Amino acid sequence: MNTDLHVLWVYLSASPLAGLTLTLVAYQAGLWVFERLGRRPVFNPVLIAVLLLAVTLSLTGVEYKTYFDGAQFVHFLLGPATVALAVPLYNQFSEVRQSAPALVVALLVGSAASALSAVALAWAFGASKATLLSLAPKSVTSPIAMGVSEQIGGLPSLTAVLVILTGIIAATFGTWVLNLVRVKDWRARGFGMGVAAHGIGTARALQVNEVAGAFAGLGMGLNGLATAMLLPALYHLFF
């Protein structure tokens, strides 16, 4: 290889441009595959983008840290996006007040069921403590989950991976489970997807039914709030 190419490579790997561009290209590729293969939940655009990027970085020998220096500009937007969740929450407020008791009970039971069963199952099958703590907030949208994970001593980046896998599992098998337990009410179906599987579950519910989508968004927002407040408190109670 000649020196010009080497100089170019050194420049690209040092600037945020490469990581940023690569992220957007990989995501577009993920969306393209998702659309082309019939919008099946298994071909989740996030999953495809993550795998493409991981393979590309491994093949080129670029470290994750170097990549993230560029990609952090996308990552940063998770903060304002979390704040923006207040808007759909506000838009659904009248609906929320009408079914408030059902929402509160389902939220508390569902939030606890998701987090506790994850920790209990992982513990029963011999997971390490860092993995247990990283798993606890995995049902919540990743900006919140990563924050909670950091607070209780988990690994935020591992949590992010587990959050995404949770969403993909829910998007793929959620409908099947909801039919299995014979829940037909769209509000309940959507709320279940949002509470257990955050944004990816919400995106899936929106594809199926508008009412389900609205309640899924609500479930995602409320569980984010509930988990952010309850998990650290629970953690301090037990450890």
Site residues (CB under 8 A) for another protein, limited to 13-72 = 19, 23-24, 26-27, 45-47, 49-50, 53-54, 57-58, 64, 67-68, 71-72
Among 96, 186, 214, 218, binds another protein (CB under 8 A): 186
Among 18, 96, 106, 214, binds another protein (CB under 8 A): 106
Considering the complex, state which of residue 12 and residue 156 has its C-beta at the smaller distance from another protein.
156
Residue type for 100, please?
Answer: A
Q: Give the integer Cα–Cα distance in Å for 126 and 137.
A: 19
Q: If we measure between CA atoms, which residue out of 145, 142, 85, 89 comes closest to residue 115?
A: 145
How many residues bind to another protein according to rule CB under 8 A?
125
Q: Give the integer Cα–Cα distance in Å for 217 and 224.
A: 11
Q: Is 133 in the site for another protein (CB under 8 A)?
A: no
Among 200, 213, 214, 218, binds another protein (CB under 8 A): 200
Q: If we measure between CA atoms, which residue out of 18, 187, 17, 9 comes closest to residue 107?
A: 187
Contacts of 82 (CB under 8 A, 6+ apart): 141, 143, 144, 224
Among 4-12, 35-43, 191-199, the segment contacting another protein (CB under 8 A): 191-199
Among 1-9, 10-18, 35-43, 104-112, the segment contacting another protein (CB under 8 A): 104-112
Q: Give the integer Cα–Cα distance in Å for 43 and 27.
A: 12
Considering the complex, state which of residue 15 and residue 58 has its C-beta at the smaller distance from another protein.
58
Among 162, 213, 214, 218, binds another protein (CB under 8 A): 162
CB of 147 to another protein, least distance (A): 3
126 dihedral zone (left: phi>0; alpha: psi -120 to 50; beta): left
